[in-house]
Amino acid sequence: MEIIKLPKHFKGKGEVKNFDFEQVKSGVNAYLYQVSKGQSKWYEVFKKTYAPICIDFDKRIYSENQKKEVYPKAKLFGVIAWCLDSKKSAIELFNKIEKKDNERI
């Protein structure tokens, strides 16, 4: 199965327009991105999630052998994604997710 990875750098759209996203770490189970807007910056850590690639939007036909990694929507923060103001704390959380030892986060 082919999986399209998240980009290392991208500019936000929609509700995160004018935000700059820069990948800091990528693991087997998680991502860590630095997010900035103007002079402000913070870190977002999230578990990897996938969605099928849409082949035909009008007919809602999705690929059976291609998926893409997806950045979590706002409603998933606190569930599978977390926002932290310290890089050190973000790395600690990223490492905890990567351990995949079923600890509560």
Give the mean pLDDT of 76-100: 96
CA geometry: angle at 42 spanning 38 and 44, to 5°? 130
Give the mean pLDDT of 17-33: 96
Position 77 in a domain:
yes
Tell me the residue range of the domain where 64 lies: 2-99
Position 57 in a domain:
yes
CA geometry: angle at 36 spanning 51 and 5, to 5°? 25
Give the mean pLDDT of 32-52: 96
- Edge-first strand listing for the sheet containing 30-37: 9-11, 20-26, 30-37, 40-47, 81-84
In angstroms, the CA 72 to CA 80 distance is 8
What does the pLDDT look like over 49-70, one tens digit per residue? 999 888 878 888 888 878 999 9
Position 104 in a domain:
no
Q: Domains in the chain: how many in total?
A: 1
In angstroms, the CA 67 to CA 40 distance is 33
Residue 28: the pLDDT is: 92
Question: Three-state SS for 97?
Answer: helix
What pTM did the predictor assign? 0.86
Position 90 in a domain:
yes
Position 105 in a domain:
no
Position 27 in a domain:
yes
- Extended beta strands in 12-70, E state: 20-26, 30-37, 40-47, 50-56, 61-69
Q: Tell whether the model's pLDDT for residue 48 goes beyond 60.
A: yes
Position 41 in a domain:
yes
